[in-house]
Structure 1
Amino acid sequence: MSRVPSLGAVLPQAEIRPSDPAAVLAFVREVERLGFDHLLAFEHVLGADSRARPDWDGYYDHTVPFLEPMALFAFLAQVPRLEFVTDILVAPQRQTALLAKQAATVDVLTGGRLRLGLGIGWNEVEYVGLGVPFRTRARRFEEQVPLLRRLLTEDGVDHAGEFDVIDRAGIRPLPARGVPLWIGCGDAPSALDRVGRLADGWIPHPNLGDGEKVEAGWRAVREAAERAGRDPDTLGLQGAVPYRHGAETVVDRLGRWIDLGATHVGLNTLEAGLAWPDAHLDVIRDVMATWQEALTPMAGRS
């Protein structure tokens, strides 16, 4: 029997203009009031200046605003119930120990409501600006994820790796239950294998959609988990539903993720021609009402 997934909403950061803190807080409070379970936030530290790069074809440039997610979630700790999810945070361009400290702090301040979605990123401009070699990011990430888990759960850590050295040191305060570490990626075999070996869940790249590609990827993740001696049923799957053509279409796409076995599904109202914040909230209200109507029979059978 299919289970009712945790429902989330993406904070439409690229359309928060101006970046009014009161409007951001009011938006997130309304998302929680409507019954959503988690809030997803994208991340970019630097945007390439497209004026100086006429051939730039990246997803974002220097004109698109992004609030730093760890600072954002600390600010939003006053919202009492929502789980906060980075979707995704580019881990290899950050210092591992500092990232662990930030994650521990946010998790403690929010009472254990952080889920850390991590990835290797695509934007070489950011890596250059942050002083990290772009070509080493996959190898660095392989070392980082297990080290982050240790730093977030162990009293003291002694680690000497290719990229990080922790010389008999630890973090205080530690999260009460660690922090779930999910990996976001496309369907490259090495990336899917990494999810199955190292992560608590998979956040598929939006370009994979919700059809055969993501189904095959999820199967590969589960097989990798089994090869690593892990129980694939303990892994989570984060679905993504972009808003494009009305609430009914969004319900159909929610159903596809449920059929895939998604444990979490997030609504994304970015790039739908909506004005911040009222038009986004109008759509989110409409979709949530439609989703609740569709999910009520399933919840009654659970």
Structure 2
Amino acid sequence: MQFWSGATFLDTTDVLPLAQMLDEAGFDGMVTSDHMIYPRQLQSTYPDSGSGTPPWAPETAWPDAWVLTGAMAAVTTRLRFSNAVYIAPARPLLEVAKQVATAAVLSGGRVTLAAGVGWMREEYALMGQDFSTRGKRLDEMIPALRALWRGGWVSWHGEHYQVPEMMIEPHPPGPVPIFCGGESEAALRRAARLCDGWVGYAYRWDDAVGYAHRLTELRREYGRLDEPFDILLALMEPPSVDLYRRAQDAGITSVMVAPWMGAQHGDSPGVERFRKPVELFAQNIIAKLGC
């Protein structure tokens, strides 16, 4: 079982020292989230809210995922980095290829791209990308990125992307794992058919296991059951060694945790308020699991 934390909704300046704490405590990774803007006139419907409105304020900070990843990689030695999730089809293919490849090189291969299609039409419009074809373009972007990351003279010729023979350097030191996010049947099938893993959100136990079982079914359907596959999600259950053992038995390979949520921070100032909860989680959970 791997243990990851997230940078979402944290003060941007707290992220780097927190990444160092997690690295030193024995956590496995940290995820970034992704939004470019919050439009004054938001017309898109947020899918995970009954009101259709996002639960965060317009002024919430969403630092660039790959700038943040590069910065975290520079102050850590073993922590891995991924996304929950990165809206890759809202960007041009070559931009995604260059950003991820650069982060992979600077981190010594400690990055995973976890992509999703997103929900905010306004972001796509501002980036000049087609919102209506975002799923089909992500389906093509995944193998295209793998081709462009090989190094040397590379090219891609598909339905949505045309890349003439070229060099795009630096290229990753090894294969970059690609995960997909999203709970729709199309998203689950994309992950099972094309990806190295799937990223979910926060779930009660039965829902989490349900997604894990469905992904197993789909991987069997696509003939990929014998290939390595990661499932990264958060569990809305009290943390315990037994919980994470059961999760691992259910096929969940990684969990996102925030030990500082609801913890008593005492008089610790600033980012130091995270240290005690992080260290206690490492002692009481990670060490006992032998992770």
- Matched with 1:58 is 54
- Matched with 1:100 is 97
**Equivalent in 16, 30, 43 of residue 39 of structure 1:** 30
What is the alpha-carbon distance in structure 2 between the residues aligned to residue 117 and residue 229 of structure 1? 22
- Matched with 2:48 is none
**Equivalent in 222, 227, 236 of residue 230 of structure 2:** 236
1:190 equivalent to 2:197? Answer no
Amino acid at match of 1:63: E
Amino acid at match of 2:273: A
TM-score (norm 1): 0.82
Deviation string for 1:119-143 (max 9, x for gaps)? 1112222222222222221111111
Amino acid at match of 1:250: P
- How far has the Cα of 1:270 moved from its partner? 8.4
For the structure 1 residues 268 and 49, does the alpha-carbon distance in structure 2 shift closer, same or farther, using more than 3 Å as the test?
farther
Amino acid at match of 2:35: H
- 8 Å CA contact 2:112–2:179 kept in 1: the answer is yes
Larger helix share, 1 or 2: 1
Amino acid at match of 2:239: V
For the structure 1 residues 64 and 35, does the alpha-carbon distance in structure 2 shift closer, same or farther, using more than 3 Å as the test?
same
- Matched with 1:14 is 9
What is the alpha-carbon distance in structure 1 between the residues aligned to residue 103 and residue 224 of structure 2? 28
For the structure 1 residues 61 and 93, does the alpha-carbon distance in structure 2 shift closer, same or farther, using more than 3 Å as the test?
farther
For the structure 1 residues 192 and 226, does the alpha-carbon distance in structure 2 shift closer, same or farther, using more than 3 Å as the test?
same
For the structure 1 residues 96 and 52, does the alpha-carbon distance in structure 2 shift closer, same or farther, using more than 3 Å as the test?
closer
What is the 5 A alignment of 1:164-203?
Answer: 164-186=161-183, 188-203=184-199
Amino acid at match of 2:30: L
- How far has the Cα of 1:107 moved from its partner? 0.4
- How far has the Cα of 1:211 moved from its partner? 2.6
**Equivalent in 249, 252, 264 of residue 262 of structure 1:** 252
Identity of aligned residues (%): 24
Q: Secondary structure at the match of 1:171?
A: coil
- How far has the Cα of 1:165 moved from its partner? 0.9
What is the alpha-carbon distance in structure 2 between the residues aligned to residue 226 and residue 271 of structure 1? 37
Structure 1 portions without partners, runs of 5+: none
- How far has the Cα of 1:90 moved from its partner? 0.6
Structure 2 portions without partners, runs of 5+: 45-50
